[in-house]
Each structure stands twice: as structure tokens, then as C-alpha cells.
Chains A and B, each alone.
Chain A
Amino acid sequence: MESNGNKHPALLSVEGLGYQVDGQVLLSDINFEISAGERIAIFGPSGAGKSTLIRLMNRLDEPSSGTVYLEGQDYRQISPRKLRRRLGMVMQQPNLFPGSVAENIRFGPTAQGERLDDARLSELLSGVDLEGFADRDVAKLSGGEAQRVNLARTLANKPEVLLLDEPTSSLDQAARQEVEETILSVLESGEVTCILVSHDRTQVMRMTDRVLSLKDGRLIADGPAEEVLNAQSMD
């Protein structure tokens, strides 16, 4: 485990992470490190434990074993609210709150007693290609628009790491492409480290540089995206 004082400290370090429910092992002994600015994919078939892993990283569930270090600090020593703001999560479903787009985007800052000003709101909406949508009722948004609001809502907290849990899996082809392009443009415009959960090989190739491959709750490969995916296609 590298500390803050090391030359190339890991931003995130996952050590021996495991999770089981009612005796059923969903994730076992996961170890990897991520440096700032990396874009990695957690890849694997349904039931491999991808979403379980990303939920553990956001500490929405409690690991049965192991832990995660954020800049060398055990994440159990960081208050869950601070941790979740630093590791912003975009879930499969937008899960927007009833109300306007602006209210949704302001939710995170308001929850910590801050005010998101109009200029920043416009900037966030522009970043997800939804200019002029601030007063729109979220009930009237398309699936793709709702997911882009979800992304902007997470970005409003200025997270250091973006955890994307299959953000396009519930969308049709056209919406999928538009959300994917939005995420790519957000990643290219900032210095956000990104962890993408996906079972879509093409998406993983397009959006990430490194792949962690999971199978039956175990990490079976960790390397450059092309190398890992090619090796798996030959299996």
C-alpha cells in the first residue's frame, strides 16, 4: 500500500475486497489500484459482480472483507457522505427526484449546505448538452435526457472519481450513443478519474484504457483494454 508521500501514489487502492450475502459469495479477494486520471472498465458477464464491486466502492454496501484506500486513507475512516461526494456514482437508472432539472442538479450541493449558482448550473447543463433544460419537469424527459441530468447531478458535487454503473444499459441505441458521447466529452474536458461498469465490449474499447475483467465474483484479468478483451475473445 502506497502512502501519500510516495512518488506515484494510487488515488484508489482496493485491497482484498469481498462481499457475501446469506453465505453466498458475490465478490472475493479483489485487488487493484487506480491512479488519478485513469479511465478503467470493470468488464464481465451478468452476475460477475461488477455492480456489486462499484457499489462497494461507493460504500452503498459494506464489504465482508478487505477495504478501499482513497489517497492512502482507509475509506471506513472517511465519513460516508464525504466519501460519496468524492466518489460520485451514476447508476443504471437515472432515479431522478420529482421536480425540475435544476432542483435535481442542485440536490448534492444543497445537501451539504452549499448553493449552486446559476452560472455553474448553466455550465453543468451545457456540459451534458441540455442547455435551457433547467426548469423542465424531470417527468417529461426522455430516457437519454434523464440519464444526462443524472450525470450532471453527480458532477455538481465535483467528484474526484466518477463511478459509472452501466449508465447506458437501460437506454435504446440512439439514447445510448448520445449519453456515451456526453460522458466522453465530460471526461475529456476535465481531470476526472473514471471507473465504468459495462458488459459492452465496444463501449469499453471506446471509453476506457484499462480493463478489469470479473468472472464469478473474482478478478481474472487486469491490463490494457485491447489486450484483455482480445485475450478473452480468444478463450
Chain B
Amino acid sequence: MLSRWIDNQILLGAAQAGVTMAAALIVVALTIRLRLGLKKDILVGLGRGLVQIVAVGFLLTLIFSADLWISIPIILVMIITAGFITVQRIKAIPNALWISLAGISAGAGSVILIMTLLGVIKQDLTSIIPIGSMMVYGAMNANALMLERFHSELVSHGGQVEAGLALGASPEKVVGPYARRAVTAAMIPNINGLQSLGIVWIPGAMSGMLLSGENPAYAGFYQFVVSGSIFVTVGITVIISIVLVRKQVFSKAEQLLIHSDEKQ
């Protein structure tokens, strides 16, 4: 209906965003009514989300006309930002920022580079930047989930970890079960996503290709490329991060550095 009244594409986008925002405000009103205490978080989220994504949209129109190498600093900025966002909620783990940066760089960086060189990801900015961003985003979430779970496992099983150390076991051995649980927890959303692909949901990349009139069968293959690449990214990220983090939670004398608040 809106497109019948508005010819200009930018104005049409703004009007569509306005309608979406109005719908979101109804949810805000409901949360206020239900006293959920989420008003500020939702309003900030909606405001930031709109401004950030529209700003990026305008920026991309400039970037897409630039040379291919510009993708390198852009992906790097994404990785660094993802590292900082990850550690906002995980302050108790020593060197969490460096661990996150190493994990996300190794995971997202290597997959983006290899897939681009092999031509699986098209060697143009309109492919590398959005698909790269999905990989960095997937790596960031998985890394945050893994670190958070690992930390909470150590807090709740600190007694068993120290019992293992007191028996002369290596730190790697005593945290092994908790490291495995953390990695599993971080990968489950991604594995669920792969299993439900096309049945429960049609992800953004395929939706975008369908909206722009691509062959649906090719869009399906390409969506698997994207989802599979994100899975590989997530796997590499959490494995690199867990290898690094399990050393960081012990001192050089193999003493556990993470304790529950109740420890005397």
C-alpha cells in the first residue's frame, strides 16, 4: 500500500521503518503495562538499531563503489567491536578480550579469507561484507556463550576443580568436562539452526536473494554456503577460545583463579 503513495525508494524505506517502529511501540506499551522493567532497554535497542543499520546502509552505498581491499579494515573493525561486546558481560575471566579477539579472528577471519579465495563467497564487496558480518556475528555470540558458560561452570564446580588439582592432576584435565560443556552449549544454537534450515526458518541471506528475484534453488544452495560457513566459523572460534581460556583461569602455580563469591 505504501509503495502506491511513495515513489522515492529512500522515503519508502523510512515509511516502512516508521510502521515497524509503531508496531514495536505497542510492545513497549505492553511491557510498561506488565511492569516488566524493559522499557529503557527496548527503546534504546530500537533507537540504536534503527540509527546504526540505516547509517550502515548509507555507508555501504559509498563503500560498495570502493576497491575490494576496503573489506579488510571493515572486517577488522567488525572483529574488534565483536571482541569488546563479548567481554562486556564476562569481566571475571582474565584476558577475556584477547581470548575473544584471537578466537573470533581465527574463526571468522580464516573462513572469510579461505571462502573468498576459493570463490565460494563472491569476490565483491556486496558479498564479502554482509556475509563476513554474519560470520563475525555468529562467532561473537558463540564465543560469548562459551565464555559465560565456562565461567559459570567453574564457579559452580570450583570444589571439584580444586579437588582434582589437589590430587595432582593437570589444569587441562580437571577443567576438561566443563570446557566440553561450554563448547557444546555454544554450538547448540548453530547446530539447531542447521537442522531446522528451510523447515523452521528461511534465513536472511536466502530471503534477500528471493526478494531480489534470484533463482530459489540457487538461493537455497547459497544459503547453505552461508549457514555452513557460519557453523565452521563458530566451531573454530569456540575451539580456539576454549584452548586459550582454560589456561587463563589458572595461575602459573596451577591455582584456580575463578572462585564463587562465597569463597572465604
Residues of A at under 8 Å CB distance from B? 47, 51-52, 58-62, 76, 80-82, 84-85, 88-89, 91, 93, 95-97, 107-108, 111-112, 150, 153-154, 157
Judge if B127 is at the interface, Cβ distance under 8 Å: no
Residues of A within 8 A of B159 (CB): 91, 93, 95
Residues of A within 8 A of B202 (CB): none
Please name the 10 residue pairs, one residue from A and one from B, whose CB atoms are nearest each other, closest first.
A111-B169, A85-B168, A95-B163, A108-B167, A95-B159, A89-B166, A80-B254, A81-B168, A84-B168, A95-B160
Residues of A within 8 A of B166 (CB): 58, 60, 84, 88-89, 91, 154
Indicate if the CB atoms of B167 and A107 lie closer than 8 Å: yes
CB-CB nearest in chain A for B158: A95
Residues of A within 8 A of B162 (CB): 60, 91, 95
| A59 CB contact (under 8 Å) in B160, B167, B173, B255 | B255
Indicate if the CB atoms of A62 and B167 lie closer than 8 Å: no
Indicate if the CB atoms of A82 and B160 lie closer than 8 Å: no
CB-CB nearest in chain B for A81: B168
Other A-B contacts than A111-B167, A154-B166, 5 sampled, CB-CB below 8 A, are A81-B170, A81-B254, A97-B160, A111-B168, A154-B167
Given contacts A81-B170, A91-B159, A93-B159, contact A107 B253 (CB under 8 A): no
Interchain CA distance A112-B160 in the complex, whole Å = 18
Residues of A within 8 A of B173 (CB): 111
Indicate if the CB atoms of A153 and B167 lie closer than 8 Å: yes
Judge if B20 is at the interface, Cβ distance under 8 Å: no
Indicate if the CB atoms of B165 and A84 lie closer than 8 Å: yes
Residues of A within 8 A of B168 (CB): 81-82, 84-85, 108, 111-112, 157
Interchain CA distance A112-B164 in the complex, whole Å = 12
* Residues of B in contact, count (CB < 8 Å): 18
CB-CB nearest in chain A for B253: A80
Instruction: Annotate B227-264 by CB proximity to A: 1 below 8 A, 0 otherwise.
Output: 00000000000000000000000010111100000001
Indicate if the CB atoms of B167 and A60 lie closer than 8 Å: no
Given contacts A51-B264, A80-B253, contact A111 B170 (CB under 8 A): yes
Interchain CA distance A58-B255 in the complex, whole Å = 10
Given contacts A81-B170, A95-B159, A111-B173, contact A61 B164 (CB under 8 A): no
Instruction: Output the least CB separation between B177 and chain A (Å).
Output: 8
Instruction: Output the least CB separation between B173 and chain A (Å).
Output: 6
Indicate if the CB atoms of A62 and B253 lie closer than 8 Å: yes
Indicate if the CB atoms of A84 and B160 lie closer than 8 Å: no
CB-CB nearest in chain B for A156: B167
Indicate if the CB atoms of A81 and B169 lie closer than 8 Å: yes
Indicate if the CB atoms of B167 and A84 lie closer than 8 Å: yes
Indicate if the CB atoms of A61 and B255 lie closer than 8 Å: yes
Instruction: Output the least CB separation between A60 and chain B (Å).
Output: 6
- 19 A-B pairs with C-beta separation under 8 A: A52-B264, A59-B255, A60-B255, A62-B253, A62-B255, A76-B253, A80-B165, A80-B254, A81-B254, A84-B168, A88-B167, A91-B159, A91-B163, A93-B159, A95-B160, A97-B163, A107-B167, A108-B168, A111-B167
Residues of A within 8 A of B254 (CB): 80-81
Residues of B within 8 A of A61 (CB): 255
Indicate if the CB atoms of A59 and B169 lie closer than 8 Å: no
Residues of B within 8 A of A60 (CB): 162, 165-166, 255-256
Residues of A within 8 A of B163 (CB): 91, 95-97, 150
Residues of B within 8 A of A76 (CB): 253
Greatest chain B CB density within 10 A among A52, A60, A91, A153 is at A60
Greatest chain A CB density within 10 A among B162, B163, B165, B254 is at B163
CB-CB nearest in chain A for B173: A111
Interchain CA distance A76-B252 in the complex, whole Å = 11
Residues of A within 8 A of B165 (CB): 60, 80, 84
Indicate if the CB atoms of B253 and A59 lie closer than 8 Å: yes
Interchain CA distance A47-B253 in the complex, whole Å = 25
Residues of A within 8 A of B253 (CB): 59, 62, 76, 80
Greatest chain B CB density within 10 A among A47, A51, A80, A84 is at A80
Interchain CA distance A97-B164 in the complex, whole Å = 9
Instruction: Output the least CB separation between B169 and chain A (Å).
Output: 4
Residues of B within 8 A of A88 (CB): 166-167
Interchain CA distance A111-B163 in the complex, whole Å = 13
